[in-house]
Amino acid sequence: MHIHVLGAAAGGGFPQWNCNCPNCDGLRKGTIKATKRSQSSICISGNGIDWVLFNASPDVLQQIQDFAPLQPGRNIRDSGIQAIVLIDAQIDHTTGLFMLREGKVKREIYCTDMVYEDLTSGNQILNILGHYCGINRHDVPIDGAQSFEIPNVPNLRFTAVALKSAAPPYSPHRNDPHPGDTIGVLIEEISTGKKCWYSPGLGEIEPHLPPLMSQADCIMVDGTFWTNTEMIDMGLMTKTARSIGHNPQSGEGGMIEKLNEFGTDKKVRKILIHINNTNPILRDDSAERAILNENQIEVAYDGMDIIL
């Protein structure tokens, strides 16, 4: 299985256009050791030719240009992207769909009922696409028992589960969470049995998750914030990380502690993805990055390739 990180940052990217936090300001001025990152998306292939795009980031056009296999060039109009799986309805994961409106072939979109509802109500993007390429919407089962395959993406099997999280700010049910607002997905390469767990928005490792996550050879999880109060401490937001669906890395019950429960019996790559621009782990020489290194947890970057 080939996993390619198209964008490793959370909503806003790094640096964020209107942000002068120490990270964004330092990156712009070249005074910190860090690399810019675009907004959250990965693509996966089980044959190196046909790809499933996980999330359509606002930066998707540049991300496609930066990864040649996504344009195989077989026809006058062509793409290696055969289907798009949306893990939630957040702006940073869906607005790239506007950029993928060209062509006569319908976009194959896989999302839960809750995400479909948000993307046809509070945010009308899927309705609007109907006036361009059109879409074929496929439901994503979230009971964890049913897997699904994507016809044009051979050799991969997907198992999704609902995660405790929050619907986007624009959602009609923002303050009333429903199963399917956010999902985590276990992706299996059928020919090799290799598996990757992907959940860029993960508010809590609930009891139904370890049985799936422990099957994975690579765990890619929410790396948004270092502390629960990061945005409050910087005066940027009044909400905690957990309350907006992002379990922070540090502290009790944090992602580092939780990730250490995996990989005790086999080699597992642990990778943080969807990293907010305020997060100190973005600085290659920070104390926080050193703690991740000690715990053998990697920080995703744009262009990262993971071959399982």
Indicate the residue type of 211: P
**91 contact, one of ligand MLT, Mn ion, Zn ion, none, CB 5-8 Å limit per kind:** ligand MLT
Q: Which of residues 237-276 bind ligand MLT (CB under 6 A)?
A: 244
| Nearer residue to Zn ion within complex by CB, 34 or 85 | 34
| Nearer residue to Mn ion within complex by CB, 82 or 228 | 228
Please report how close the Cβ of residue 84 comes to Mn ion at its closest, in angstroms. 16
Kindly give, in sequence order, each residue whose CB lies less than 8 Å from that of residue 18, ignoring residues fewer than 6 positions away.
Answer: none
Strands 135-139 and 107-111: parallel
Q: Sign (positive/negative) of CA torsion 256, 301, 304, 168?
A: positive
Stretch binding ligand MLT (CB under 6 A), from 27-35, 90-98, 121-129, 231-239: 90-98
Our finding on whether 223 is near ligand MLT (CB under 6 A) is no
Cβ-defined contacts of 295-299 (< 8 Å, 24+): 295/256, 295/259, 295/260, 295/270, 296/263, 296/270, 297/256, 297/259, 297/270, 297/271, 297/272, 298/269, 298/270, 298/271, 298/272, 299/8, 299/223, 299/271, 299/272, 299/275
Please report how close the Cβ of residue 47 comes to ligand MLT at its closest, in angstroms. 31
- Residue from 1, 5, 8, 24 touching Zn ion (CB under 5 A): that is 24
**24 contact, one of Mn ion, Zn ion, ligand MLT, none, CB 5-8 Å limit per kind:** Zn ion
Please report how close the Cβ of residue 46 comes to ligand MLT at its closest, in angstroms. 27
Our finding on whether 11 is near ligand MLT (CB under 6 A) is yes
Q: Are 238 and 229 in contact (CB under 8 A)?
A: no
| Nearer residue to ligand MLT within complex by CB, 150 or 299 | 299
Our finding on whether 90 is near Mn ion (CB under 5 A) is yes
Q: How far apart are CA 117 and CA 277, in angstroms?
A: 29
| Nearer residue to ligand MLT within complex by CB, 156 or 231 | 231
- Site size toward Zn ion, by CB under 5 A: 5
Residue 141 C-beta-side C-alpha neighbours within 13 Å? 10
DSSP-based three-state secondary structure for 63: helix
Q: Are 260 and 226 in contact (CB under 8 A)?
A: no
- Residue from 50, 59, 92, 230 touching ligand MLT (CB under 6 A): that is 92
- Residue from 92, 117, 181, 230 touching Mn ion (CB under 5 A): that is 92
- Which ranges of the chain would DSSP assign to H, the alpha helix? 22-29, 60-65, 91-94, 113-118, 125-129, 210-213, 230-233, 255-259, 287-294
- Residue from 7, 11, 180, 254 touching Mn ion (CB under 5 A): that is 11
What count of other Cβ atoms lies within 10 Å of the Cβ of residue 250?
17
Please report how close the Cβ of residue 118 comes to ligand MLT at its closest, in angstroms. 13
| Nearer residue to ligand MLT within complex by CB, 150 or 282 | 282
Which candidate, 38, 72, 40, 36, places its Cα nearest to that of 54? 40
- Residue from 80, 96, 177, 201 touching ligand MLT (CB under 6 A): that is 201
| Nearer residue to ligand MLT within complex by CB, 85 or 308 | 85
Which residues of this chain interact with Zn ion, rule CB under 5 A? 16, 19, 21, 24, 277
Which residues of this chain interact with ligand MLT, rule CB under 6 A? 10-11, 90-92, 201, 244
